[in-house]
Chain A
Amino acid sequence: MEVKKRIGYLPENPPLYNDLRVIEYLDFVSKIKEIPGNRRKQAINEAIEKAGLGEVRRQVIGSLSKGYRQRVGLAQALLSDPEILILDEPTVGLDPRQIIEIRELIKNLGGEHTVILSTHILPEVEQTCGRVVIINQGEVVAEDTPANLTRRLRGTERTIIEVDGNETDLNAVLSGFPEIVSSTIEKLPENNHLQVSVELSQDIRKDIARALIERGFNLYELRKEAYSLEDIFLHLTTKEEVA
């Protein structure tokens, strides 16, 4: 009971009563969340303001759009001014503008509350979270800040080079660089270009570029493959499956 008072929870489907008005719903929630009578009105108004519900406060919940329903759910979770706010997939089913608004809102809430955000949308995590826990089949496989998780994968970071020309010449150029740890060459079917994926011990991209151009190759692409959380997620969870 004590714990429940300190938690605000927004399930995946916001728990709303479609036939109540927004304000009646929040009033009901405030009663069962034990918000004392003298603070109730203020708490409701604050939650409405934080969630941006001012214009629909007198509307019946059933008539609201998905985005507003999500906000009502969020207002409900915020109502008791909880220390911990648990949000389960808060942006599912929203249009892009609503998603941005909700994420902005969550980011702002981070200042006052501890927000636990559960989601499958990894860019969302990159944008909003300070700490990531990846859980695969009930086990924690990684727990760190997004930046650290990315850094952890740097060891196997690869550089992609796309050129045209012939494979033997290309191999000759590449073998001139001791910094290249390993490389795989692949012919792209759509334009007969060669795509090389190399692992570098140091960042010598500018030297590779110059060498290739001096040998008469046309350089189309030279990029460092940046790992997103999605790659990290795949990496961690597939490793787990293999083991």
Chain B
Amino acid sequence: MKKTLAIFQKELKHFFYSPIAYIVIAAFTVIAGIFFYLYLSSFVEAAFMAMIRAQQFHQPQPKFNVNLQVIRPYFWNLALISLFILPLVTMRLYSEEKRAGTVELLYTSPIQVWQLVLGKFLAGLVFYIIMLLPTVVFMALLFIYGNPEIGPVISGYIGLILLGAAFISGGLFISSMTENQIIAAVAGFGFSLFLWIIGWAANFSGPGLAGLLNYLSIINHFEDFAQGVIDTKHVFYYLLFVTLGVYFTMKSVDSVKWKA
């Protein structure tokens, strides 16, 4: 566990000693901020117009729901931005070690493969959580000026973290197979996008296959979280995904070890 921690610390240092962390966090925050602004302003506008209309025609005021019209689509957006940004986080996690030749140090050290892979995975996950922190500020604004339900916000973040963990484990696996960061990023992005859109194919296929494709689709499992429901079925899917991703990464690292 100590060695896992050592790897974890080293990876976080790599993130924050290189400009990539700041660029990624800044890009994520700006994009997330723009979407937040757009959703919120259109919501406020719609609510305001409805209020005026209700006063003019002496009708009862329609109900507007912040959770339904701002928070839920906003989580969907964060998930989509994560899909684009996370390959940039995972691309260097393992491939950089191969390129710089530092794998030789790791292979000749008394460190087990699972310690190595787990340390790197956790570093990616913690970085992702740090990346999500600025969006908490946006959410806090809603709570200061309105009274949304807190439940869906919490479940939404849990869903985002699980989704992110799945992307990171997949990206780490891809990063472990190449020594080129660009390839790792593009392949990681393609892999994530494939799992994202695989659910769409379900619309055009027979009932048996559709069920399977829907289950595989990484984003279908996110829906409930965004709506405020934590279903163990979906938690299980993401945990299974992460376990498989980490396991395959270990196998990939191990195979290189014997080849070398």
Contact = CB atoms under 8 A, between A and B. Distances in A.
Interface in B199-221: none
Given A17-B14, A76-B105, A1 B110 contact: yes
A14 B103 CA distance: 11
Given A9-B104, A9-B108, A76-B105, A32 B14 contact: no
A24 B100 contact: no
A15 B101 contact: yes
A19 B109 contact: no
A220 interface: no
Interface in B1-42: 2-3, 5-7, 9-10, 13-14, 17-18
Contacts of B232: none
A15 B17 contact: no
A17 B101 contact: no
Interface residues of A, number: 23
B31 to A, nearest CB: 26
Given A17-B10, A17-B14, A20-B10, A32 B111 contact: yes
B106 interface: yes
A34 B18 CA distance: 27
B102 interface: yes
B101 A13 contact: yes
Contact of B110 (A11, A13, A14, A33): A33
Contacts of A13: 101
Interface in A57-99: 76
Contacts of B104: 9, 11, 15
Given A13-B101, A15-B102, A20-B17, A34 B10 contact: no
Given A15-B100, A16-B102, A18-B100, A29 B13 contact: no
B259 to A, nearest CB: 16
B110 A19 contact: no
Nearest to B14: A19
Nearest to A6: B110
A164 B6 CA distance: 74
A36 to B, nearest CB: 10
A19 B108 contact: no
Interface in A30-61: 31-34
B13 A20 contact: yes
Contacts of B110: 1-2, 4-5, 32-34
Given A28-B6, A31-B6, A4 B109 contact: yes
A210 to B, nearest CB: 61
Q: Which of A2, A18, A32, A76 has most chain B Cβ within 10 Å?
A: A32
B6 A32 contact: yes
B181 to A, nearest CB: 14
Nearest to B105: A15
A33 B10 contact: no
B100 A32 contact: no
Interface of B: 2-3, 5-7, 9-10, 13-14, 17-18, 100-106, 108-112
Interface of A: 1-2, 4-5, 7, 9, 11, 13-20, 24, 28-29, 31-34, 76
Given A20-B13, A29-B109, A32-B3, 20 more contacts: A4-B110, A5-B110, A15-B101, A15-B102, A15-B103, A15-B105, A17-B14, A18-B100, A19-B14, A19-B17, A19-B18, A20-B10, A20-B14, A28-B9, A28-B10, A31-B3, A32-B6, A32-B109, A32-B111, A33-B109
Lowest 9 CB-CB distances: which A-B pairs, in order?
Answer: A31-B6, A15-B105, A15-B102, A19-B17, A9-B108, A4-B110, A11-B104, A13-B101, A32-B109
